[in-house]
Chain A
Amino acid sequence: MRTAWDQTIHDFIASTKDPNDPDLTISGLFFDQLADTSGVPDPAPVGVPWNAFPQILTNWFAVQPGANQEQLANEWAEKTITTSTLFGLFKKDAGGNFEPIPVTYRRQDEYCEWFVERTGNQIRRMYFTCEPPEYWEFLAQKDISLVLELYRELLHNPNIQQSEICWAFDVYSRPDSQGHRRLLYRQGDYNPRNDWNTTKGAVHLTHWANSLSAEVRLASDGSLGWAQPAGPVDPHRLICCAGFGGVNRSSDPKIGSTVYSVARQGFSVALANPVGLYMQHFQLPGLRDPQGAAIPNALRFVRQSSNGQNILRAELEPPAGAGYSLDQCTLIGDSLRFGGQIARLITMSLFAIAKQIPGATSTAVPGCPATCCPYPTNGQFFGSFGNDGKACGQRSAQEWAGNLRDLNDIQAHPLMPQGVLLAEHLEAPEPEAKIHGRALTSP
């Protein structure tokens, strides 16, 4: 199984070299570490850190009075989004007509997602994961029983049934230009956004942009020869120009610009083996029980690398028999109410290597394919658009809709950008299965 997974990673990397992909610019400086035959020794990997809490929510709520900002962002970070349009999944009804399938995902888009297990206001446990959906789909294809076993173990629930994590019907794509639909999943196939991984628990990543293939593509795109001013790289300006990820995130601008900074010096770049996204640092000594005592063993790393450095899954819960729940605890003096309070104290990381490979050359990208605009009523929130020369003030609601897809259910607040602009396209079909390079996680 390990060999097959290695091949999957090779395939992700190879997909960034696909000459038939019209949306792709192949980078001459992005390479596959394990397939490298240059003979140039690999240096030690370098880690690129970012914070796990969705920066997009911090930016969105930035226009709120100070005391509200963090609270609102924490609250909304936990509310899942259900869409019948974004993923473009359909099933046949009894009459043979295709009807859209509602799909639920988390709006936690920094490659780290969490779920808070609540009973009413009581918080029993929190799960944090950064495992990519591709790995679990891969695992399910090989051994669905193992996946079920892991679900039961990771979510502490022996009653989860296989039928609950698998599709109950065949799942089809949107029609292509000829009106043909592809069969994406057969009945009984693993459903990565099943209830136990969305509204009832968290086993792996669900956000449309949180995927390993997206990480690979981002690293490849970052190594292109973007049209940037000479000298050092401004991550915000670069991502606005390149459009290779979410401009409102902490992760994508940081990852892309770090790769680009090295590649523009002529170094070839690879994601270090094992390719993945990891939780690297938790700053949680401020967690206290209801009596004010420290709870040193509340955080458990459930899935991690053998050296303990690369954490894939963590759980937070009171010690066995503690007699209290997490909501009765405090974190740095505040009542623990949201997983976001913890996420703000998690440092994420991915690892890359850079070396000079003789003959490898940068692939120049003329001009900027994308551009950014601040939101009309919130200068801290940016949208990414095709670089068509249009002034920011001329961007339509439809153009903004793609940038607001993870926010458009947030109710209008007196100080918030009004819902008028958003409501217009709430249920509009998503024309693209890819948003500026960071692909949707769909088959």
Chain B
Amino acid sequence: MTFEPELDVGDIQGHSLRGFGTDALALVGLKIGEPSLARAWLSALSGRVDTLAAVHHYRLTRSFAPMRLPRTLLNIALSAHGLTQMAIDISTVEDGMFRQPMGFNAGTLGDPTDSAQLPTDYVLGKTWEDTPDILLIIGGDTAEAALKFAMSLRSAASMAGCSTMYEELGQNLPGEVEHFGFRDGISQVGVRGRLSSVADDFLTLRRLAPTDPLAKVLAKPGQPLVWPGQFVFGYPTHQPGSPLDPGPNSDGGAPWMKNGSYLVFRRLRQDIPAFRQFLQAQAGALSAQLHRPITAEEAGALIVGRWPDGSPVSLAPFRPNASISDDEMMVNNFAYAQGTPAMTVSDSIGEERDLAAQQDDALGQRCPFFAHVRKVNPRDLATDQGIAGRTLTFQMLRRGIPYGQPFSGPDPDGEDRGLLFLAYQTSFKRQFNVLNSLWVNNPSAPEMSDEGHDILVSQNSGKDRFATLRDPTGTVMATIQAQERWVIPTGGGFFFTPSISFLKSLS
């Protein structure tokens, strides 16, 4: 049996490894006024911050106690500027992205910039002045509960000399979709590690039958097991060549980073009418190029890599398939390079069942190379960055949630809505930046030169983007051209989510 490390569940904040899973999530951005007061306040607040143990317990028990009062959860992240304000030495911190406001990296991220390379669309995070020093991440069973707790925290922060410079409420939309109408948050890697000294007290539930050989590498179909050092400092990292063996511990460059994680926050505005209009136009354009009728829904599925209900086009190439999308064992049961073998899984009540093998799609005949889900998670594919085993090391733990009211259309309503993209990792450079800059915004990676941009979310510095549908020899059958953007990054920041003990030590 692979020995998995015991996680310090009382010291790691819970949003990173477990995710709150609450229906509402409020973000509160604070600027530090008087550092000593801020330190004292954060230290005092550390006792209220929800640990990995607390969040795990919340997620296990919430469905069994529907009548209880709405609960709230709290985690805290700090920017490099905030840490420096509080006299924390960040000079040895390894990751340069962390040491800069997001706006400073806008060009690298592919976001449109002005002549000074500053972002044109940011409402937050352009400079240190408009980047939170402290980011409060507040989960709530209801929006009201989250907002009420946020208000009390703002009030306390104010007494500690901190001013509120940003506040936003994220809420799950019905059906757990994002604003374009696609089911979101379906695919996550499974983090290795145990919650206690008990041998099989795993953080990530194992759903493959223990006798299945794949049980060593998969938590469930399509959910590969990854060592926790990819997401929290101080734990074994994932080794591409020997995924069963723990790699060297992740190390951010400073001892105080142990049990902490990097958090990237991107505020992504979504223009629903623009996206729908684009899909309508592409339906016609693709029909003409491919000589078969393509609907707007199919054009969207090709661009996303999934149908709105979550069915992956790799498994359901022609239409959504509820028997796949409704089955948590099937909705991610695909891989591009090798397909997936037959396996035995345990369902939620512990009954075993067999899943059939699924075909590969190495040549991108069902899920195009440029599809969003393929670009940001090439699964078992070797890429321009090396062997297939390395591909997993770029993954992050995504905890995003929509903000704004659902679009009721069809006409543009001028409302601001989108996604609060939140993702945990231990290297911005080797995780977020690889996915976002080297793949999403690079038309010639990870698989094929000129495969195209990730049409859904790429920015290409505001310039036109393209994507190519190819036959098995790689010959272009159809090209998608996009001038408009429907996902507009409007700011964010690079943060560090420290350990509870670090917060406590600030007194």
Binding site for B on A (CB under 8 A): 43-44, 46-51, 55, 58-59, 62-67, 70, 231-236, 250, 253-254, 257, 261-262, 265, 267, 280-281, 283, 285-286, 288, 292-294, 296, 330-335, 345, 347-349, 351, 354-355, 374, 379-382, 415
Chain B residues within 8 Å of A233, by CB: 337, 362
* Cβ proximity bits B340-379 to A, threshold 8 Å, 1 near / 0 not: 0000000000000000000010110000000000000000
The range of chain B's interface size is 35 or more
- Is A236 in contact with B253, judged by CB distance below 8 angstroms? no
- Complex Cα distance A87/B80, Å? 50
Report yes or no: A235 in contact with B388, Cβ–Cβ below 8 A. yes
A-B contact pairs, 15 of them (CB 8 A): A46-B475, A47-B450, A62-B240, A65-B248, A234-B382, A253-B382, A254-B383, A332-B433, A333-B95, A333-B96, A333-B100, A349-B449, A380-B239, A380-B240, A380-B242
Residue of A nearest to B248 (CB): A65
A347 touches B473 (CB 8 A): no
Q: Is B458 an interface residue (CB 8 A)?
A: no
Q: Which of A288, A296, A379 contacts B242 (CB 8 A)?
A: A379
**Docked CA distance A288–B108 (Å):** 11
Residues of B within 8 A of A67 (CB): 94, 251-253
Contact with A47, one of B99, B247, B448 (Cβ below 8 angstroms)? B448
Q: Are B94 and A379 in contact (CB under 8 A)?
A: no
Q: How far does the Cβ of A372 sit from chain B's closest Cβ, in whole Å?
A: 10
Q: Are B117 and A285 in contact (CB under 8 A)?
A: yes
Distance (Å) between the CB of B27 and the closest chain A CB?
23
| Known pairs A49-B445, A333-B96; A262 contacts B473 (CB<8 A) | yes
Which 9 pairs from chain A and chain B are nearest by CB? A47-B449, A333-B96, A285-B107, A294-B117, A334-B96, A46-B474, A286-B108, A379-B242, A232-B360
B140 interface contact, C-beta 8 A: no
Q: Which residue of A lies closest to B360 (CB)?
A: A232
- B378-403 CB contact bits vs A (8 Å, 1 = yes)? 00001111111100000000000000
User: What chain A residues lie within 8 Å of B204 (beta carbons)?
Assistant: none
Measured between beta carbons, the chain B residues less than 8 angstroms from A63 are 247-248
Q: Are B96 and A232 in contact (CB under 8 A)?
A: no
- Determine which of A43, A231, A283, A379 lies in contact with B437 in the assembled complex, contact meaning CB atoms within 8 Å: A283
Does B295 touch A at the CB level, under 8 Å? no
Contact B362 A261 (CB under 8 A): yes
- B87-124 contacts to A, CB under 8 A, are 94-100, 104-105, 107-108, 113, 116-117
Of B96, B116, B241, B249, chain A has the most CB atoms within 10 Å of the CB of: B241
User: How far, in angstroms, from A262 to B437 measured CA to CA in the complex?
Assistant: 29
B206 contacts the other chain (Cβ, under 8 Å)?
Answer: no
Q: Complex: how many Å from CA A66 to CA B437?
A: 21
Task: State whether B444 touches A347 (Cβ < 8 A).
Answer: yes
> What 14 new A-B contacts, CB under 8 Å, besides A43-B473, A379-B241?
A43-B475, A44-B476, A47-B444, A51-B384, A65-B251, A232-B338, A235-B382, A280-B449, A330-B96, A332-B96, A347-B384, A354-B474, A355-B473, A380-B240
CA distance A349 to B443 in the complex (A): 12
Residues of chain B contacted by A382 (CB below 8 angstroms):
241
Check A281–B445 contact: CB distance below 8 A. yes
Complex Cα distance A415/B249, Å? 13
User: Would B96 and A331 count as touching, CB distance under 8 A?
Assistant: yes
List the interface of chain B (C-beta within 8 A of A): 94-100, 104-105, 107-108, 113, 116-117, 229, 237, 239-242, 245, 247-253, 337-339, 360, 362-363, 382-389, 426-427, 429-430, 433, 437-438, 441-450, 461, 470, 472-476
**A330 contact set on B, CB distance < 8 A:** 96
Q: A44-B476, A62-B247, A283-B438 are in contact. Are A374 and B242 (CB under 8 A)?
A: yes
Contact between B448 and A46, CB atoms less than 8 A apart: yes
Q: In the assembled complex, which residues on chain B have CB atoms less than 8 Å from the CB atom of A59?
A: 241
Partner of B388, one of A65, A236, A355, A415: A236
A293 to chain B: closest residue by CB: B116
Contact B473 A332 (CB under 8 A): no
Q: Is the CB of B98 within 8 A of A333?
A: yes
Query: With the chains together, A301 CA to B113 CA distance in Å?
Result: 23
Complex-state Cα separation, A281 to B438, whole angstroms: 9
Question: A232 vs B362: C-alpha distance in the bound complex, in angstroms?
Answer: 7
Query: Is B426's CB under 8 angstroms from A66's CB?
Result: yes
Do the beta carbons of A58 and B386 come within 8 Å of each other? yes
Residues of A within 8 A of B229 (CB): 66
Q: A294-B116, A355-B473, A380-B240 are in contact. Are A236 and B387 (CB under 8 A)?
A: yes
**Contact residues of A: prevailing secondary structure:** mixed
**Are A46 and B251 within 8 A (Cβ)?**
no
Closest chain B residue to A334, Cβ basis: B96
Q: Are A374's CB and B241's CB within 8 A?
A: yes
Residues of chain A lying within 8 A (CB to CB) of residue B240 = 62, 380
CA distance A70 to B250 in the complex (A): 13
Identify the closest chain B residue to A333 (Cβ). Answer: B96
CA distance in complex: A288, B386 (Å): 28
B117: chain A residues within 8 A (beta carbon): 285, 293-294, 296
Chain A proximity of B184: nearest CB distance (Å) = 27
A66 with B475: CB separation less than 8 A: no
Cross-chain contact A250 with B108 (CB below 8 angstroms): no
Decide: A234 near B338, CB < 8 A? Known: A59-B241, A66-B251: yes
CA gap between A293 and B104 in the complex, in Å: 9
Q: For the complex, what is the distance from the CA of A253 to the CA of B461, rounded to whole Å?
A: 32
Q: How far, in angstroms, from A62 to B437 measured CA to CA in the complex?
A: 23
Task: Tell me whether A62 and B104 are in contact (CB under 8 A).
Answer: no
Cross-chain contact B449 with A333 (CB below 8 angstroms)? no
* Closest-CB distance, B5 to chain A (whole angstroms): 15
Nearest-Cβ distance from residue A424 to partner chain B, whole angstroms? 24
> Please, how many angstroms separate the alpha-carbon atoms of A268 and B241 in the complex?
32
Task: Kindly list chain B residues whose C-beta atoms are within 8 Å of the C-beta of A49.
Answer: 384, 444-449
Contacting residue for A48 out of B96, B116, B427, B449, CB 8 A: B449
- Nearest residue (CB) in A for B257 is A67
Q: Are A333 and B248 in contact (CB under 8 A)?
A: no
Docked Cα-Cα span, A285 to B111, in Å, equals 10
Residues of chain A contacted by B450 (CB below 8 angstroms) = 47
Asked if residues A65 and B249 are in contact (CB atoms below 8 Å), the reply is: yes
Task: State in angstroms the CA–CA spacing of A265 and B365 once bound together.
Answer: 14
Which of A50, A51, A66, A292 touches B249 (beta carbons < 8 Å)? A66
Q: Decide yes or no: A286 and B449 within 8 Å by CB, A49-B384, A330-B96 being known contacts.
A: no
Residue of A nearest to B359 (CB): A231
Looking across the interface, which residue of chain A has its beta carbon closest to that of B362? Answer: A232
B241 touches A257 (CB 8 A): no
Contact B97 A332 (CB under 8 A): yes
Given contacts A46-B474, A257-B382, A235 and B339 within 8 Å (CB-CB)? no
A381 to B429, CA, bound (A): 22
A66-B251, A333-B105, A347-B442 given as contacts; is B384 within 8 A of A254 (CB)?
A: yes
User: Given A231-B360, A330-B96, A345-B438, is A66 in contact with B386 using a C-beta cutoff of 8 Å?
Assistant: no
User: What separation, in Å, do the CA atoms of A132 and B385 have in the docked complex?
Assistant: 22
CA distance A65 to B22 in the complex (A): 35
Contacts of B362 in A (CB 8 A): 232-233, 261
The answer to whether A280 touches B444 (Cβ under 8 A) is: yes
Q: Which A residues lie within 8 Å of B337 (CB)?
A: 232-234
CB-defined contacts of B433 to chain A, threshold 8 Å: 332
Closest CB in chain A relative to B224 CB, distance in Å: 15
